[in-house]
A = this chain, B = another copy of it.
């Protein structure tokens, strides 16, 4: 039964999204168009996303650096193709220190040019390769149609940039990041079964030899690109003079990759799992996994609740105590539902007398009385069940709204409320252009078993097409 705080998803999904940003206290608009104020709860979600992705990036051997926010305007002319992609989106500082600058500086839309420069400086010989770098930072791309978390003028992200001695090594590393960092995080933490594949020539990152992406399905059937990993060939190495002396003493151009993910992931989290009662945060990601609500602080309930919190903390469960008995119980329960806390434990004098805790799962709304004796172990098991159930639900949704079709017309129909899959040989670049007129894009090309193909000319490639955020 919906708590009626939010517009129902079925009646107006975009309005539901706006409502939840506000009611779950995730983000406000900043005073400059397209910028966002990420509120404490929204930011704690980002901190957990960041920690999980960062641990995987480090496990993949990359090291974090910090490059400057400001880039001389001239740098963006080094790589013509690159500028074409970005210039209307740039924010330019023309005045600083109380006067006009001799050369304007650009607020980074990415740090690509600076990564190019430092890699060229830091790499001398094959012994310096591979050089595996990553950065967590804010970037700015002026947005005309901003949408919180999905497309904002300023956003937070990580961008990895690596240089390798061989094409094979670069190709392998770009796939390693796609699978071991992004896909693993989406599947095992975000509980989202992303589709992976190559981008078409049209959708590819400017200058990339191969762009690979993780595409998530939102609950309105639209696609959200959650992360990308690019093989850049030698294009960027050429533009930035990233070369090295090989074992034989010969100077060679390096092969580079880049890969990124951003606060957009929070948009995906909201739209892939949220329902008419609010967010549903997968337990492994949740800043608060269990909230304990003191129904009435009588007959030792408060003390028992605090003891329960301690027991759960000792078991490594992330908890929050709510003793705000001066607010109505219904309002408090609704608030924690909106925030998507995986488990709510309600503790009142009657529960205590019966030796039970009332436990409510956010994913299914199932309510049960669990003996306080042994409740911590039961909660730990339930958190794992919720994690698995959210993944199973999202997988079922994806399956239900992914239709295999044979023609472009069928694809157009199916993409009105989900993903359509058809042979790339049937669609082709002409079909891609035709679908684009209806706002439908090729999200990725993949092998029949869902794997990434080694070649873009693989005749078995299937195209996944959909409307996208």
Chain A residues near B (Cβ < 8 Å): 28, 30-32, 35-40, 43-44, 46-47, 63-72, 75, 87-98, 104-105, 107, 114, 117-118, 121, 133, 137-138, 140, 142, 144, 153-154, 156
Q: How far is the CA of A105 from the CA of B35 in the complex (A)?
A: 12
**CB < 8 Å neighbour of A91 from B31, B35, B96:** B96
How many whole Å from A140's CB to the nearest CB in chain B?
7
Determine whether the beta carbon of A88 is less than 8 Å from that of B98. Answer: yes
> What residue in chain B is nearest A122 (Cβ atoms)?
B39
**CB < 8 Å neighbour of A97 from B40, B47, B118, B142:** B142
Chain B residues with CB below 8 A from A70, complex form: 30, 32, 35, 91, 140, 153-154
The 9 A-B residue pairs with the shortest CB-CB distance in the complex, in nearest-first order: A35-B68, A40-B63, A30-B68, A97-B142, A38-B66, A91-B96, A92-B95, A32-B70, A88-B98
How many whole Å from A152's CB to the nearest CB in chain B?
9
**CB < 8 Å neighbour of A117 from B31, B39, B95:** B31
With A40-B63, A91-B95 known as contacts, the answer to whether A68 contacts B114 (CB < 8 A) is no
Determine whether the beta carbon of A37 is less than 8 Å from that of B66. Answer: yes
Determine whether the beta carbon of B32 is less than 8 Å from that of A105. Answer: yes
Chain B residues with CB below 8 A from A64, complex form: 40, 43-44, 47
Chain B residues with CB below 8 A from A69, complex form: 35, 69, 107, 138, 140, 154
Q: How far is the CA of A239 from the CA of B381 in the complex (A)?
A: 51
27 of the cross-chain contacts (CB-CB < 8 Å) are A30-B67, A30-B68, A31-B68, A31-B71, A31-B114, A35-B70, A36-B66, A37-B65, A37-B67, A37-B68, A38-B65, A38-B66, A39-B65, A40-B64, A40-B133, A68-B154, A69-B69, A69-B107, A69-B140, A70-B91, A70-B140, A91-B96, A92-B93, A92-B95, A93-B107, A94-B94, A107-B107
**CB < 8 Å neighbour of A32 from B32, B68, B142:** B68
> What residue in chain B is nearest A142 (Cβ atoms)?
B97
> What residue in chain B is nearest A105 (Cβ atoms)?
B32
With A87-B98, A95-B92, A96-B142 known as contacts, the answer to whether A72 contacts B31 (CB < 8 A) is yes
Determine whether the beta carbon of B97 is less than 8 Å from that of A94. Answer: no
Determine whether the beta carbon of A28 is less than 8 Å from that of B96. Answer: no
With A35-B68, A65-B39, A68-B154 known as contacts, the answer to whether A89 contacts B97 (CB < 8 A) is yes
Determine whether the beta carbon of B154 is less than 8 Å from that of A32. Answer: no
Q: How far is the CA of A114 from the CA of B30 in the complex (A)?
A: 9
With A93-B93, A97-B144, A137-B138 known as contacts, the answer to whether A114 contacts B37 (CB < 8 A) is yes
How many whole Å from A242's CB to the nearest CB in chain B?
16
Chain B residues with CB below 8 A from A75, complex form: 31
How many whole Å from A86's CB to the nearest CB in chain B?
11
Most B CB within 10 A of own CB, among A35, A70, A133, A142? A70
> What residue in chain B is nearest A111 (Cβ atoms)?
B37
Chain B residues with CB below 8 A from A154, complex form: 68-70
**CB < 8 Å neighbour of A65 from B40, B92, B107, B153:** B40
Chain B residues with CB below 8 A from A35, complex form: 68-70
Q: How far is the CA of A360 from the CA of B67 in the complex (A)?
A: 34
How many whole Å from A160's CB to the nearest CB in chain B?
13
Chain B residues with CB below 8 A from A92, complex form: 93-96
Determine whether the beta carbon of A63 is less than 8 Å from that of B89. Answer: no
